[in-house]
């Protein structure tokens, strides 16, 4: 099994973390911008994006799709991507939030702050604050996002929330979110999301 990613990509971190949690052996290939423009990489993902997982004959881009695949293929307990309809629906809801508001909020704010690019930092911070307020309210009295135990929803949402301060979004106003981050980081074998070498400004 081979994972293509970069250390500071929250999308790639989701997959790396879950592979470690499941105890699956894999080869990590760092796919920087130059690699992602290469013909060999574009043959794996024509969009030139990371992560990409190669498992035998399967070539699978997209972090959320990879999490679902790994859970269904390799998690014998069936708990990380539950099939009980109520829990399954909650997992899907949070996977959608991870691909939506978290991507266009904390993730985009971090990108714009650290590396620049197209987009409005103010708008991204506004989206981030909205989703963090919602998460904080949701987690008040709950340990995990979608079930009574951790699921792939928690893995999908972790990285960009943990590094929200790198997008000038402080986490001090969100005590339930901070407690949740501590619980996620205590999951055995889960590596914390690396910090950028660029000083945080939040």
Write the pLDDT tens digit of every residue in 72-104. Answer: 999 999 999 999 999 999 999 999 999 999 999
- Tens digit of pLDDT for each residue in 15-49? 999 999 999 999 999 999 999 999 999 999 999 99
- Centre a 10 Å sphere on the Cβ of residue 85 and count the other Cβ atoms it contains: 8
Looking at residue 59, what is its pLDDT?
A: 99
Going by their DSSP bridges, the two strands 2-5 and 27-30 should be labelled as: parallel
Mean pLDDT of the chain: 96
Write out the CATH class of domain 85-185.
mainly alpha
- Centre a 10 Å sphere on the Cβ of residue 133 and count the other Cβ atoms it contains: 13
Kindly state the average pLDDT of the residues 150-165: 98
Residue 28: closest CA among 49, 54, 57: 54
Tell me if 1 sits within 8 A of 24, measured CB to CB.
yes
Collapse the DSSP code of 96 into the 3-class scheme (helix H, G, I; strand E, B; otherwise coil) and give the result: helix
Looking at residue 198, what is its pLDDT?
A: 62
Looking at residue 202, what is its pLDDT?
A: 43
- Cis bond leading into 51, ω under 30°? yes
Sequence spans of domains, the chain: 2-74, 85-185
Looking at residue 25, what is its pLDDT?
A: 98
Looking at residue 4, what is its pLDDT?
A: 98
Does 132 have pLDDT greater than 90?
A: yes
Tell me if 145 sits within 8 A of 90, measured CB to CB.
yes
- Structure tokens belonging to residue 174: 């969100």
Evaluate whether 2-74 and 85-185 have a shared fold: no
Looking at residue 196, what is its pLDDT?
A: 85
DSSP one-letter string for 123-157: HHHHHHHHHHHHHHHHHTT-SSSSSSS--HHHHHH
Write out the CATH class of domain 2-74.
alpha beta
């Amino acid at each position: 099994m081979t994972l293509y990613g970069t250390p500071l990509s929250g999308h790639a971190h989701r997959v790396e973390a879950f592979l470690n949690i499941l105890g699956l052996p894999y080869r990590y290939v760092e796919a920087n911008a130059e690699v992602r423009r290469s013909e060999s990489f574009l043959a794996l993902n024509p969009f030139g994006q990371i992560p990409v997982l190669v498992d035998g004959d399967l070539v699978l881009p997209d972090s959320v799709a990879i999490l679902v695949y790994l859970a269904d293929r390799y998690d014998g307990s069936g708990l990380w991507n539950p099939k009980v309809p109520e829990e399954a629906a909650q997992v899907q809801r949070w996977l959608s939030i991870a691909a939506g508001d978290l991507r266009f909020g904390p993730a985009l704010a971090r990108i714009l702050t650290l590396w620049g690019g197209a987009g409005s930092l103010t708008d991204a911070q506004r989206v981030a604050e909205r989703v963090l307020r919602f998460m904080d309210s949701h987690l008040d009295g709950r340990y995990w996002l979608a079930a009574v135990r951790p699921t792939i929803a928690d893995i999908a949402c972790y990285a960009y929330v943990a590094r929200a301060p790198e997008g000038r979004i402080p986490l001090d106003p969100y005590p339930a979110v901070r407690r949740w981050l501590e619980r996620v980081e205590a999951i055995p074998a889960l590596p914390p999301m690396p910090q950028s070498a660029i000083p945080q400004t939040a």
